[in-house]
Each structure stands twice: as C-alpha cells, then as structure tokens.
Amino acid sequence: MQYCEIIVRGHIDQRRADWFAGLEIIQLPEGISRLVGEVADQAVLHGILNRVRDMGIELLSVKCNDRLII
C-alpha cells in the first residue's frame, strides 16, 4: 500500500470519486484538482491514470510515497 497524490488540470466532480479508487478529490483554484489517498498497488495506480487519460484530463503530476502526502 502506498499513498499517492495526482494533480490534474480541470475540476473532477466528487460523484466520480468511485472512478478513482476512492481517492479524495480536492478542488484547487484555477481549475486544478488534487486526488490523494491510498493506492493498493501499481496496477490500481495505472488504472487511475488510464481513467484520467480516457477522460481527456491533462495530467500535471503524480507523487507516490509510503507515507501520507499532505
């Protein structure tokens, strides 16, 4: 298990949280969304990134760590 932070351009609706493996979605100023939380493994992370790609959302950054990212 690891903690990941994914930053994307565009606001992602909270109703779509299930699409992102239960990551918390935080809306930031200027149309940026921050997805943060536990990711079980690399396969789950790739699934989340594929969803971002499929939605046509611009990926800005991905950070993963063994500790909670604040």
Do the domain assignments include residue 67? no
Per-residue pLDDT tens over the stretch 39-61: 999 999 999 999 999 999 999 99
Do the domain assignments include residue 54? yes
pLDDT band at residue 68 under the 50/70/90 scheme: low
Query: Taking residues 23-28, what's their average pLDDT?
Result: 92
Structural domain total, the chain: 1
> How many whole angstroms separate alpha carbon 2 and alpha carbon 22?
14
Q: Which two tokens stand for residue 27?
A: 């809306």
Instruction: List, in order, residues 6 or more apart from 17 with CB less than 8 Å away.
Output: 23, 24, 25
Do the domain assignments include residue 66? no
Do the domain assignments include residue 4? yes
pLDDT at 50: 95
Q: Which domain covers residue 54, as residue numbers?
A: 1-8+15-24+40-60
pLDDT at 69: 60
Q: Please indicate, yes or no, whether the overall pTM of this predicted structure exceeds 0.85.
A: yes
pLDDT at 21: 80
Do the domain assignments include residue 68? no
